[in-house]
Structure 1
Amino acid sequence: MNIRILKESDAHLYQEVRLNALKINPEAFGSTYEREVGFSLETVKERIKPIRDKYIVGAFDNRKSLVGIVAFIRENNLKTRHKGNVFGMYIAPGNRGQGLGKSLMNELISRAKNSDGLEQINLTVVSDNHSAKKLYKSLGFEVYGTERNALKYNGHYFDEDLMVLTLAVDQSCL
């Protein structure tokens, strides 16, 4: 496996994986296949273009196929800049259960830790997605709340657990 930050030249591969994610696990994402299928390649390139506080980590198999993705976006507001967020975690079905999600998250966390002043990483996960919650807990994330009916898809509601990984606490603020 090769794990690295995606760049604009990966846009086509990313779009293919992202659309598959939205088709296969629609309940797990805030967006929909119907919304994103119309995105132009230029839109996708702009979306995945890595910058200091926003990037997508991708996992490529031995055939150079993109088989896993996860996004990180740091808050940019003065009062929330100490936080970053994880979005869009997805592993293609044939590649699940092999530690790939953990490798992707470890790369994301390692990179995020190098962001000056970043103190915590937040994420949300559908409450009954036990395998994802187990992964996040193994990395040190803790549930701090649950949003009831956070997502609604095809007439069904899905609760989301809110999770946080504390990287550091600014002692001067205590």
Structure 2
Amino acid sequence: MGIVKNKASEKKNKAPEELVIKLLSEKDVDIFWTLRLKALKDEPHSFGADYDESTALDPKEVAGRLVCNDDNFVLGAFCPDLIGYIGFVRQKTKKMRHQGTLWGLYLLPEYRGRSIARQLMVASIMYAQELPDLEYLKLTVTIPNKPATKLYKSLGFEKYGVEPAALKVDGKYVDEALMQLKLHQD
């Protein structure tokens, strides 16, 4: 996948900045993991992963998530530093390899509302469409996260179910919507 370059929209009193979306690799582990831990700490209701458990992970395991192949990739948005990311993992079993899951979409709050999350999503969909025999992209989104749900629907994702009490954060349950996108129309 080539590098995607765009101009991010202007925000109040801020000049446009150059946005680059590219595949992350093992060499990006430090900047990726710093941003991932920030996301988990600042927005625990948005992710299935737990901040405290994640801080205990081995750096080699984290770097392994950044290996790009037909089963795994992580895209990063740079402006010029890493400001957001989205991951993909493919199902491993023979009967389920036609499905992949997008995970962990995150964008620093000061960059939201500028179509950068949309660009990350579009880039991940485009990349996934090129993977052999991949037919469906799936994702989950917490029901209270209306902006993310709106974004996913606008890109063609359809809700096919709800997992009640999918997360339990600070003693409170959070439901998740299950969504999927068919990559190739017949």
Under TM normalisation by the shorter chain, which class is it? over 0.9
SS in structure 2 opposite 1:68? strand
Moved over 3 A (4+): none
| Aligned length in residues | 168
| Structure-1 separation of matches of 2:162 and 2:149 | 13
Q: Deviations over 1:41-84 (max 9, x none)?
A: 333212222222201010000xx311111101111211111111
**Equivalent residues in 2 for 1:1-174 (5 A)?**
1-61=19-79, 64-168=80-184
* Structure 2 spans left out of the alignment, 5+ residues: 1-18
| Structure-2 separation of matches of 1:76 and 1:152 | 27
Superposed CA RMSD in Å reads: 1.2
Question: TM-score w.r.t. structure 2 length?
Answer: 0.87
SS in structure 1 opposite 2:139? strand
- Asked if the contact 2:74–2:88 (Cα under 8 Å) also holds between the matched residues in 1, the reply is yes
Matched letter for residue 50 of structure 2: T
| Structure-2 separation of matches of 1:7 and 1:154 | 34
SS in structure 1 opposite 2:132? coil
SS in structure 1 opposite 2:104? strand
Deviation of 1:38 (Å):
2.3
Identity of aligned residues (%): 39
